[in-house]
């Protein structure tokens, strides 16, 4: 019996074997096709109910199976799962095309769409109708048959290329090991980082020494604290050169093919570029507006970034005689300069940020803002022993959500941090089906002598992903495709980025920042230093983010067919944002998973776009108190619970009372002085 084909609420991970996946996908696709056939075979006049709603709720089993499988492929993968993904992805792409290119189905959807003005639909129903119609019109429903055939070929090829891109990045990350056997090579590293490196060496079967890898909890402390400049260089070049070695794991050809196929697809559909296609369904609307936005911020940030870089260069020269700062010097000297300017470093802060305490802290923040309660449970199946599970309730004991938390690096887990869903929220037959939400991160693990102690950056990452989680957990919409984080991509980062602000506030830190050994509350002078240092090198950080946004747009906002050299193209794009000398051995694009594997193609600018929203939104909280119930309730009612049911600017203005102001971001980032 295949557990994926039985009805299930929480995912039955312990019952699932690899051999179950492909048959489950094939059967679920067959069932979903039958549901589509039932719509097209219906002799009744097309209505919102018998066409749009029925289409919306079709394929639910397939959706559940996909969420289980592809979440595993990100968080607990192996060669067998990756092989299945390569087989299944083109089939899913073909299935998606079978729906959007189904003429009979499109005719029924179109018939309902053309009566929109007379149907007396709710706002959410109108949004769903628009979205369903556009899912056909924007994906080839109006094309001639030969062009539909080409669209299918492109989509199948893209699905495999994106998977291969991600597999190569993960393989490169896992392949690199810096095995150190001389303790002098670890000079400068905090004791906790040394212990973690020794533990990692032991776990990988090394008889002695210390192991440094490209996983963030290993890589970042070494780059920040190790005094051995040559080893920092080796590590930096390995990190920056992922999938850029002209070998079997090289991604240069994959990058070129993905960009070219996306462009061809957009042109096939009548759009100038892939960015024009994508941005039609974003708050930014057009590539021109994105470029204007990025350029405006670049003009504000660049003078500050150059001043900060000059300060850092001078500091490194005076301290250690470094004539030319390189990329592998940045974290090291920035940390030393921060210590000198603010008498603050991560090692001072980490004892106050034990992982379990930070988790409890973010739960308390959610309780004070939104009335949520998190109860750890052990009766929910998980895909790995490290995954913790919670049931979430409101103050009236109404069930809100299941929450999964998976916080440490493993060989089968891709790098970074993300929120995902195993089950969407929706209302059907009078039942409000509640969501199953997951946060996946790669935080510093515990060691024999210390629990998992987070850097301040890891604390903000946890709050960030939990903000996405709240967007999913508090969803309260009729339809799954409009629920939770199913919003315009440049709006999706608002809930996550706004929650980071609580990490800098005394009132919030007092809820959880206690010393893991003594129980002492974090000293207020440290809190003050955290706030004072919040804008440290903000110009450089902004310039870096803008460079990524510009690189994304360079691949997707023009015709990439003339690009033959990935590195040369990238170098030309970065010329206005470079601070450090270029390193020929490294390439950003070949490991830029956000845009070549994930969903951020033509959308990386959205991090900065959402920062404007979050700075403006948090200013509203600050004016009224960061735990003000009235403001929090407005945020929940008009942003978190509404998903994609209305235009995001309409929702934002309903919460805030006005459009967001870019000045809120510039002021918070300390960049107004550059005007």
Dihedral sign computed on CA atoms, order 14, 18, 20, 24: positive
* pLDDT of 674 above 70: no
Q: Are residues 396 and 466 in the same domain?
A: yes
Q: Is residue 260 part of a domain?
A: no
Give the tokens for residue 379: 């009766």
- The residue-averaged pLDDT of 40-46 equals 97
305-323 per-position pLDDT tens digit? 999 999 999 999 999 999 9
Q: Which residues pair with 388 in a beta bridge?
A: 405
CB atoms under 10 Å from CB of 23, counted, come to 12
Q: What is the pLDDT of residue 640?
A: 98
CB atoms under 10 Å from CB of 533, counted, come to 18
Give the tokens for residue 199: 């533990």
Task: Output DSSP code: residue 514.
Answer: B
Domain range spanning residue 138? 3-142
CATH number of the domain within which 402 lies = 1.10.1370.40
Q: Is residue 23 part of a domain?
A: yes
Q: Residue 675: pLDDT band by 50, 70, 90 thresholds?
A: very low
From the number of C-beta atoms within 10 Å of its C-beta (0-12, 13-18, 19+), residue 525 rates as exposed
216-253 per-position pLDDT tens digit? 999 999 999 999 999 999 999 999 999 999 999 999 99
Q: Is residue 157 part of a domain?
A: no
Domain count, the chain: 3
Q: Which residues pair with 436 in a beta bridge?
A: 402, 423
Task: Output DSSP code: residue 250.
Answer: -
For 138-153, b/e burial (b = at least 16 CB within 10 A) is bbbbbbeeeebebbbe
The Cα 167–Cα 77 span in angstroms is: 10
Which of 96, 118, 142 is the last residue before a domain boundary?
A: 142
Nearest to 493 by CA among 571, 402, 603, 393: 603
Q: Are residues 358 and 484 in the same domain?
A: yes
310-367 per-position pLDDT tens digit? 999 999 999 999 999 999 999 999 999 999 999 998 889 999 999 999 999 999 999 9
Which of 197, 224, 240 is the last residue before a domain boundary?
A: 240
Q: Are residues 127 and 182 in the same domain?
A: no
Q: What is the pLDDT of residue 673?
A: 57
Residue appearing with tokens 């990756």: 82
- The residue-averaged pLDDT of 458-482 equals 98
E strand or H helix at 640: none
Q: Are residues 213 and 124 in the same domain?
A: no
Give Cα separations from 315 to 330, 483, 568, 577, 670 (angstroms).
11, 50, 32, 21, 21
8 Å CB contact between 615 and 668: yes
Phi, psi dihedrals of residue 399, rounded to the nearest 5°: -70, 130
Annotated catalytic, 356? no
The SS3 of residue 87 is helix
The Cα 585–Cα 606 span in angstroms is: 29
Q: Are residues 60 and 193 in the same domain?
A: no
Q: Are residues 81 and 223 in the same domain?
A: no
List strand residue ranges (DSSP E) for 536-663, in order: none
Pairing between strand 210-212 and 418-423? unpaired
Q: Which residues have a Cβ under 8 Å from the Cβ of 263 and sit 6 or more positions away?
A: 273, 274, 556, 559, 560, 561
* pLDDT of 672 above 80: no
End-to-end C-alpha distance for the chain, whole angstroms:
67
Q: Is residue 302 part of a domain?
A: no
Pairing between strand 399-406 and 388-394? antiparallel
Q: Residue 512: pLDDT band by 50, 70, 90 thresholds?
A: very high
Phi, psi dihedrals of residue 139, rounded to the nearest 5°: -130, 30
The Cα 593–Cα 165 span in angstroms is: 8
Task: Output DSSP code: residue 53.
Answer: I
The Cα 492–Cα 495 span in angstroms is: 7
Nearest to 669 by CA among 508, 544, 511, 506: 544
The Cα 502–Cα 367 span in angstroms is: 13
The SS3 of residue 421 is strand
SS3 labels along 346-400: HHHHHHHCEHHHHHHHHHHHHHHHHCEEEEEECCCCCCCCCCEEEEEEECCCCEE
Q: Which residues pair with 178 in a beta bridge?
A: 212
Q: What is the pLDDT of residue 406?
A: 97
SS3 labels along 301-315: HHHHHHHHHHHHHHH
The Cα 63–Cα 481 span in angstroms is: 11
SS3 labels along 450-502: CCCECCHHHHHHHHHHHHHHHHHHCCCCCCHHHCCCCCCCCCCCHHHHHHHHH
Residue appearing with tokens 């809930």: 495
CB atoms under 10 Å from CB of 419, counted, come to 24
Residue appearing with tokens 């029925």: 54
Q: Which residues have a Cβ under 8 Å from the Cβ of 90 and sit 6 or more positions away?
A: 156, 159, 160
Q: Are residues 386 and 524 in the same domain?
A: yes
| Total residues belonging to the chain | 675
Q: What is the pLDDT of residue 185?
A: 97
Q: Are residues 391 and 477 in the same domain?
A: yes
Q: Is residue 365 part of a domain?
A: yes
8 Å CB contact between 2 and 23: yes
User: How many CA atoms lie within 13 Å of 543's alpha carbon, on the beta-carbon side?
Assistant: 23
Task: Output DSSP code: residue 245.
Answer: S
Residue of 347, 465, 493, 500 with catalytic role: 465
Which of 96, 120, 142 is the last residue before a domain boundary?
A: 142
CATH number of the domain within which 14 lies = 1.20.1050.40
Give the tokens for residue 413: 């887990």
Q: What is the pLDDT of residue 392?
A: 98
Q: Are residues 31 and 99 in the same domain?
A: yes
Q: Are residues 368 and 232 in the same domain?
A: no
Q: Are residues 115 and 57 in the same domain?
A: yes
The Cα 619–Cα 501 span in angstroms is: 10
Q: Is residue 489 part of a domain?
A: yes
- Show the CA angle centred on residue 472, arms to residues 466 and 478, nearest 5°: 165
Q: Is residue 427 part of a domain?
A: yes
Q: What is the mean pLDDT of the chain?
A: 96
Q: Is residue 123 part of a domain?
A: yes
Nearest to 503 by CA among 370, 362, 621: 362
Q: Are residues 73 and 180 in the same domain?
A: no
Q: Secondary structure of the chain: what % helix, strand, coil (to 5)?
A: 60, 5, 30
């Amino acid at each position: 019996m295949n557990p994926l084909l039985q009805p299930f609420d929480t995912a039955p991970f312990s019952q699932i074997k690899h051999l179950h996946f492909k048959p489950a996908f094939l059967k679920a696709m067959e069932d979903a096709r039958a549901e589509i056939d039932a719509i097209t075979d219906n002799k009744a006049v097309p209505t919102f109910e018998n066409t749009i709603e029925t289409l919306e709720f079709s394929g639910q089993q397939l959706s559940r199976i996909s969420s289980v499988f592809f979440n595993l492929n990100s968080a607990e993968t192996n060669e067998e799962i990756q092989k299945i993904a390569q087989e299944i992805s083109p089939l899913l792409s073909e299935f998606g095309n079978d729906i959007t290119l189904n003429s009979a189905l499109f005719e029924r959807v179109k018939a309902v769409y053309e009566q929109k003005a007379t149907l007396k639909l709710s706002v959410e129903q109108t949004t769903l109708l628009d979205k369903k119609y556009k899912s056909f019109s924007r994906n080839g429903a109006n094309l001639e048959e030969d062009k539909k055939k080409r669209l299918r070929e492109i989509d199948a090829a893209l699905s495999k290329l994106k998977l291969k891109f991600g597999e190569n990045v993960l393989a490169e990350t896992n392949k690199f090991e810096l095995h150190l056997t001389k303790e002098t090579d670890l000079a400068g590293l905090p004791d906790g980082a040394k212990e973690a490196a020794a533990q990692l060496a032991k776990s990988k079967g090394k008889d002695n020494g210390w192991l440094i890898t490209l996983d963030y909890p290993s890589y970042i402390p070494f780059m920040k604290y190790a005094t051995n400049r040559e080893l920092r260089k080796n590590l930096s070049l390995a990190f920056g050169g992922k999938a850029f070695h002209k070998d079997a794991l090289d991604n240069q050809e994959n990058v070129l093919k993905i960009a070219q196929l996306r462009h061809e697809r957009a042109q096939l559909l009548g759009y100038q570029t892939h960015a024009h296609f994508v941005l039609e369904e974003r708050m930014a609307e057009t590539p021109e507006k994105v470029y204007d936005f990025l350029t405006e911020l670049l003009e504000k940030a660049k003078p500050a970034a150059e001043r900060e870089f000059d300060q850092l260069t001078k500091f490194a020269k005076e301290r250690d005689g470094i004539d030319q700062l390189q990329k592998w010097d940045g974290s090291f000297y920035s940390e030393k300069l921060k210590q000198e300017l603010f008498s603050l470093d991560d090692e001072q802060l980490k004892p106050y940020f034990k992982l379990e305490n930070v988790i409890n802290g973010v739960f308390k923040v959610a309780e004070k803002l939104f009335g949520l309660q998190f109860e750890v449970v052990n009766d929910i199946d998980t895909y790995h022993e490290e995954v913790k599970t919670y049931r979430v309730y409101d103050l009236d004991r109404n069930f809100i959500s299941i929450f999964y938390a998976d916080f440490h690096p493993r060989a089968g887990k891709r790098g970074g941090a993300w929120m995902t869903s195993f089950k969407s929220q929706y209302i059907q037959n009078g039942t409000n089906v509640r969501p199953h939400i997951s946060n996946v991160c790669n935080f510093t693990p515990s060691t024999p002598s210390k629990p998992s102690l987070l850097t301040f950056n890891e604390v903000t990452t946890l709050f960030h992903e939990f903000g996405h989680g709240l967007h999913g957990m508090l969803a309260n919409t009729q339809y799954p495709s409009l629920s939770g984080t199913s919003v315009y991509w440049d709006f999706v980062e608002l809930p996550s980025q706004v929650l980071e602000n609580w990490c800098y506030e005394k009132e919030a830190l007092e809820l959880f920042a206690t010393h893991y050994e003594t129980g002492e509350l974090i000293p207020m002078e440290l809190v003050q230093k955290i706030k004072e240092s919040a804008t440290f090198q903000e110009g450089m950080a902004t310039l870096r983010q803008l460079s990524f946004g510009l690189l994304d747009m360079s691949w997707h906002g023009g015709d990439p067919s003339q690009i033959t050299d990935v590195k040369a193209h990238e170098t030309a794009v970065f010329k206005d944002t470079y601070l450090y000398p270029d390193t020929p051995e490294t390439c950003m694009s070949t490991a830029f998973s956000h845009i070549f594997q994930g969903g951020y193609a033509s959308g990386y600018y959205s991090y900065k776009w959402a920062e404007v929203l979050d700075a403006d939104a948090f200013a509203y909280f600050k004016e009224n108190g960061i735990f003000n119930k009235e403001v929090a309730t407005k945020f929940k009612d008009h942003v978190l619970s509404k998903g994609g049911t209305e235009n995001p600017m309409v929702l934002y203005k309903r919460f805030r009372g006005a459009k967001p102001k870019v000045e809120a971001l510039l002021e918070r980032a300390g960049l107004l002085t550059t005007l």
